Amino acid sequence: MDINREIRRLINYGLDKDLIEKQDEVMVINQILEILQLESFIDCSVENEVLAHPQEILDNILDFAFNTGVLKSNATSYRDLLDTRIMGCFIAKPSQIVKEFYKNYHISPKLATDQYYAMAFSSNYIRKSRIEKDIRWKTLTKYGELDLTINLSKPEKDPRDIIAAKTIKKSGYPKCLLCKENEGFSGNLTMPARQNLRLIPVDLEHEAWFMQYSPYVYYNEHLIVINGEHTPMKIDIHTFTKLLAFVEKFPHYFVGSNADLPIVGGSILSHDHFQGGRYTFPMARAPIQKRIVVNGYEDVDAGIVKWPMSVIRLRSLDKERLVDASTHILNIWRPYQNQMLDIIPYTGQEPHNTITPIARYRDNQFEIDLVLRNNRTNKKHPLGIFHPHSEWHHIKKENIGLIEVMGMAILPPRLKDELETIKKCLLKIEDFDQHEEIVHHKSWFYNLKEKYSGLSVDFEEIPKEEVGLIYENILKDAGVFKQDEAGQAAFIEFLS
């Protein structure tokens, strides 16, 4: 492998993707030579290429670095640290990126985000080669089509990395994965490198916030909006104000917040943040099943959404009225109690009731969905009463956060191989009882076998379809007002 040729290919890629301009070529080459501990570069001509991403070139360079001792381990974490450092050579200074973004924004917010999103891919911050491995499908339910994805884009930790990470003394910088200090961070075995990350500052109600794209892109233009300060998640009037302020600035995006309590919240509660993007989730497509009137806010269009969870949708031309109505509902929900439905707002001083809010600008109106949540546990449901129940844990037992609430299941990587084995067992190509690694699916498998016995069906898709139906039941579990007569009557009573 000719390292000079691979460097030239990478430079040409950067020029083609407008990551660098021609006059920057020598500077970038010198930076790469320093990283690879090379004394010189012998230029050479290479054929013109049209590449969607640079990973194949980077992999060749990383192999060279490992063989020459520059890369001390060939484990994924070490390779990621080095190729991120290399791609960081191609990215302009933060001030230049911000200036270009807002120059485009004044032409069109969509133009600004389009170019910013393209840069996230071109710089390999979003690793296209990995997210292409994710498995995605849809399942039709009584609530419409649900989205499901088996997440394969997050690299699994190499055991060697786990051992090495234990020896690293934590500096506390950055404080978490969402802190603005991650921009340009060199990374280590416990925190990813971010030399190819550039943040865009956004003023939300006179507070400094920042936006970036998720490196794992669960959906189109998966955006993260981050508080400039490392402050905990909190759902209150300011949350609604900021969410609606954001969609006013970027009307082609939705934005939502995870709940602010464990079990019903996201994986990071220590740093206030939102998630958004340009994607229409199943919940956004769900219709209103019953119109309602919120007392004192008769001018706000309101209704219960036809959805397995308990969702109130509010719409108005006036975002201030929407903020006030949302706050009113939150303030009534926080202390709400219905012991017959296991809805208890407090255990001592510990709160249980909260909301997962999602904002949009649609059909020339502001819109906000308020998903009622409760994070209480009991002996029967130690992981959460309104959480995936134990009968579904063979598929998913993780929290139902913002993305799942909206109708997209993020499923664990193990299901890729497990569903393939179950399919072969249903087709009688393999014997289920010979596979100890899927014993947790035993009850489900034999139910499927009985359900489809004697029927002419396509077993290629049956396991995925059935996982989709389980996801529908998981969302029902997470709903505080159940879909039965008693649950819906209590929902109406709460709203009145």
Each residue's pLDDT, cut to its tens digit, for the chain (496 residues) gives 899 999 999 999 999 999 999 999 999 999 999 999 999 999 999 999 999 999 999 999 999 999 999 999 999 999 999 999 999 999 999 999 999 999 999 999 999 999 999 999 999 999 999 999 999 999 999 999 999 999 998 765 555 555 555 556 667 889 999 999 999 999 999 899 999 999 999 999 999 999 999 999 999 999 999 999 999 999 999 999 999 999 999 999 999 999 999 999 988 999 999 999 999 999 999 999 999 999 999 999 999 999 999 999 999 999 999 999 999 999 999 999 999 999 999 999 999 999 999 999 999 999 999 999 999 999 999 999 999 999 999 999 999 999 999 999 999 999 999 999 999 999 999 999 999 999 999 999 999 999 998 888 888 899 999 999 999 999 999 999 999 999 999 999 999 8
Per DSSP, 114 falls in state: H
CA 378 to CA 376: how far, in whole Å?
A: 7
CA 26 to CA 14: how far, in whole Å?
A: 13
Structure tokens that stand for 301 in this block: 């269009």
Structure tokens that stand for 15 in this block: 């020029």
Structure tokens that stand for 495 in this block: 């709203």
CA 101 to CA 98: how far, in whole Å?
A: 5
pLDDT given at position 388: 97
Q: How many CA atoms lie within 13 A of 202 on its CB side?
A: 27
pLDDT given at position 454: 85
CA 471 to CA 138: how far, in whole Å?
A: 11
Q: At what angle do helices 25-36 and 55-67 cross, to 10 degrees?
A: 40
In the chain, count H helices and then E strands: 16, 15
N-terminal to C-terminal alpha carbon distance within the chain:
72
Contact 404, 477 (CB under 8 A): no
Contact 323, 211 (CB under 8 A): no
Q: Fill in the amino acid letter for 75.
A: A
Strand-pair category, 144-150 with 408-411: parallel
Strands, DSSP E only, in 258-407?
273-277, 288-292, 301-305, 311-316, 346-347, 350-351, 353-362, 365-374
Closest listed residue to residue 113, CA positions, set 206, 21, 211? 211
Instruction: Report the greatest alpha carbon distance in the chain.
Output: 77
pLDDT given at position 496: 84
DSSP assignment of 84-110: HHHHHTTSPPHHHHHHHHHHHHTT-HH
Cis peptide bond prior to 335, omega within 30° of 0 = no
Residues in CB range of 406: below 8 A, 6 or more apart: 256, 281, 282, 283, 284, 358
User: Taking the mean position of all CA atoms in its chain, how far away is CA 55?
Assistant: 22
CA 132 to CA 115: how far, in whole Å?
A: 21
Contact 374, 264 (CB under 8 A): yes
CA 57 to CA 23: how far, in whole Å?
A: 22
Residue 409: what are its φ and ψ, rounded to 5°? -80, 125
Contact 83, 90 (CB under 8 A): no
pLDDT given at position 7: 97
pLDDT given at position 464: 96
User: Taking the mean position of all CA atoms in its chain, how far away is CA 139?
Assistant: 20
pLDDT given at position 457: 86
Q: What is the layout of strands, in order, in the sheet containing 408-411?
A: 135-141, 144-150, 408-411
Q: Cα angle at 283 between 477 and 224, to 5 degrees? A: 100
Other CB atoms within a 10 A radius of the CB of residue 433 amount to 10
Q: Is 69 helix (H, G, I), strand (E, B) or coil?
A: coil
CA 355 to CA 127: how far, in whole Å?
A: 33
CA 14 to CA 7: how far, in whole Å?
A: 11
Contact 210, 225 (CB under 8 A): yes
Q: Fill in the amino acid letter for 179.
A: C
Residue 24: what are its φ and ψ, rounded to 5°? -90, -5
pTM of the entire predicted model: 0.94
**CA 267 vs CA 227, 259, 263, 495: distances in Å:** 16, 11, 9, 30
pLDDT given at position 166: 54
Q: Is 427 helix (H, G, I), strand (E, B) or coil?
A: coil
Closest listed residue to residue 494, CA positions, set 351, 295, 298? 295
